[in-house]
């Protein structure tokens, strides 16, 4: 039973292709083995450590209490700050690492779950301790720099407010002096009094703002989860990686073999066909008229002599197998006529559908099924006066894969001998099924492969492999 891998392709078909394309598969396997060994020898295990930072909002807005904390912090901006060159430079200084800031940044990744105020800092290194120190180091420096940035911002705002308070106090002093020296009831005194009150109000507002700034909590957050020292390498291990590389190239080799076989060019000459079937004669039948037709007839006559002789007392049993999309009908017609012209009465058994039988309508008998079922003797299925060439095909609906059993084929050959036939020519159009090949080829006195004109290497190889599976080797290959 064939396990199907796809439409029209079975495990046996794939195995035959791989056998024909063993060189391609072997090359990919060799490359995969070398790369897998290199991966095993040169790859260094890496370790990952993760710390989790909780971010605290820092704001001077007195109404911030009514705002959700997640709306006060942009985690993407905070992630960029954590992976900034300034943070990496400080980590390098604190941990005394002999690496550039960019190399440190390449070893650190930051993730922030949606809707949270946390940053997951993951550091990777070939040394477990360094990975742990990097994760905690980046987290700590980030928090320190975040607090320092907040403190510097508050200091700048406080200095600005102090300068404005100082300015307003000078204005207040000037207004008070004018108010004290001006006569009562004069416009100068009234204006100075108004300016003094305004300066006092502005000073009070500025001092209130300054008090709010000094009260701001600059706590940047905390390291909620300290990184632990990793004990196992991160990701897949070296062995799994090496095996993955090898399996990848094995699969690529199989695919390359299948693709190469599927899109293989046609064989253009007898030498190419002979390379596929070493030691088997290849006959190239010319196509055309005149000298080509004469040469073709001569080659077919020689072929008829070589394959048309059977054992004494029995007809020759010849299997003519098609290749690829080439039906061997034309060669079968010419070969049967050539045998008949040589005085050998020929019974042609067409194993394809009755509608595709190439024999002349007056020579075709659609009674193969009943004969194989032993319901009707061959003598009754044939015309009363059979000619030198008689074609026997199956009727519509007959499953020849089940009917062409070795015992039924043997019985058919015996009846053909009693009916006076010298040659029984079994013609199997492509694709040749294994059941038909097994039933017909086991007792064949000669097997000829009809490859058609410029056959494809893959199709020819499939037919030859199929015959080899049932223990048959072709005696001739006919091209054209």
Phi, psi (deg, nearest 5) at residue 171 = -65, -40
Cα 427 from Cα 312, distance rounded (Å):
23
The pLDDT, as a whole number, for residue 7 is 40
Phi, psi (deg, nearest 5) at residue 164 = -70, -40
The pLDDT, as a whole number, for residue 402 is 74
3-state secondary structure 277-309: CCCCCEEECCCCCCHHHHHHHHHHHHHHHHHCC
The pLDDT, as a whole number, for residue 325 is 61
Neighbours of 416 (CB within 10 A): 26
CA atoms within 13 A on the CB side of 36: 18
Neighbours of 406 (CB within 10 A): 13
The pLDDT, as a whole number, for residue 92 is 92
- The pTM of the full predicted model, rounded to 2 decimals, is 0.47
Give the three-state DSSP class for 478: strand
pLDDT in 10s for each residue of the chain, 480 residues: 233 333 444 565 677 667 767 788 888 888 888 887 887 777 777 888 999 988 888 766 554 455 565 556 788 888 888 889 999 999 999 999 898 999 999 989 998 887 678 889 999 888 889 999 999 999 999 899 888 888 888 888 888 988 998 988 888 888 888 878 877 778 888 888 888 888 888 888 888 888 887 877 778 888 889 988 888 876 556 677 778 888 888 888 888 877 776 666 667 667 777 777 788 888 787 877 788 888 888 888 888 888 877 777 778 888 888 886 666 888 888 888 888 888 888 888 888 777 777 776 667 777 788 888 788 888 888 776 667 888 888 877 777 767 878 888 888 888 888 888 888 888 887 766 776 777 777 778 788 887 777 777 777 877 888 788 777 788 888 887
Instruction: Report all structural domains of the chain as residue ranges with CATH numbers, in order of start.
Output: 4-44+237-260 (no CATH), 47-225 (3.30.1890), 268-479 (3.40.50.300)
The pLDDT, as a whole number, for residue 3 is 33
Phi, psi (deg, nearest 5) at residue 454 = 50, 65
């Amino acid at each position: 039973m064939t396990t199907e891998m796809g439409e029209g392709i079975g495990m046996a078909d794939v195995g035959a292709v791989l056998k024909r394309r063993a060189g391609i598969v072997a090359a990919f396997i060799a490359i995969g083995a070398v790369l897998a060994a290199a991966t095993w020898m040169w790859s260094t295990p890496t370790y990952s450590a993760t710390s989790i930072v909780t971010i605290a909002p820092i704001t001077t807005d007195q109404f911030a209490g009514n705002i959700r904390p997640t709306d006060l912090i942009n985690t993407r901006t905070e992630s960029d700050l954590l992976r900034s060159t300034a943070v990496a430079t400080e980590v390098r200084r604190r941990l005394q690492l002999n690496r550039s800031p960019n190399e440190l940044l390449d070893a650190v990744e930051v993730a922030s779950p949606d809707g949270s105020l946390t940053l997951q800092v993951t550091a990777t290194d070939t040394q477990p301790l360094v990975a742990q120190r990097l994760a905690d180091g980046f987290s700590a420096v980030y928090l320190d720099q975040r607090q320092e940035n907040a403190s510097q911002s508050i200091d700048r705002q406080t200095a600005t407010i102090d300068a404005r308070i100082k300015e307003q106090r000078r204005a207040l002093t000037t207004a008070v002096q004018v108010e004290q020296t001006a006569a009562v009831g004069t416009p100068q005194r009234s204006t100075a009094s108004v300016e003094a009150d305004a300066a006092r109000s502005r000073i009070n507002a500025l001092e209130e703002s300054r008090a709010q700034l000094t009260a701001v909590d600059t706590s940047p957050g905390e390291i909620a989860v300290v990184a632990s020292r990793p004990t196992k390498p991160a990701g897949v291990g070296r062995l799994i990686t090496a095996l993955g590389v090898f399996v990848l190239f094995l699969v690529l080799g199989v695919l390359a073999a299948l693709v190469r076989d599927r899109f293989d060019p046609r064989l253009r000459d007898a030498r190419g066909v002979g390379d596929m079937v070493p030691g088997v004669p290849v006959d190239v039948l010319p196509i055309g008229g005149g000298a080509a037709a004469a040469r073709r007839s001569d080659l077919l006559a020689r072929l008829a002599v070589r394959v048309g002789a059977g054992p004494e007392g029995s007809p020759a049993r010849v299997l003519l197998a098609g290749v690829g999309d080439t039906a061997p009908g034309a060669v079968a017609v010419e070969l049967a006529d050539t045998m008949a012209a040589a005085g050998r009465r020929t019974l042609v058994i067409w194993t394809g559908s009755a509608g595709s039988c190439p024999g002349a309508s007056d020579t075709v008998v659609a009674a193969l099924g009943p004969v194989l079922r032993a319901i009707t003797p061959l003598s009754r299925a044939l015309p009363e006066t059979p000619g030198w060439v008689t074609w026997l095909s199956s009727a519509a609906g007959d499953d020849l894969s089940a009917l062409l059993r070795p015992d039924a084929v043997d019985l058919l050959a015996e009846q053909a001998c009693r009916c006076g036939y010298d040659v029984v020519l079994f013609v199997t159009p492509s694709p040749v099924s294994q059941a038909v090949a097994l039933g017909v080829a086991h007792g064949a006195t000669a097997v000829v492969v009809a490859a058609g004109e410029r056959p494809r290497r893959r199709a020819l190889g499939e037919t030859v492999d199929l015959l080899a599976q049932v223990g048959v080797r072709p005696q001739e290959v006919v091209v054209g």
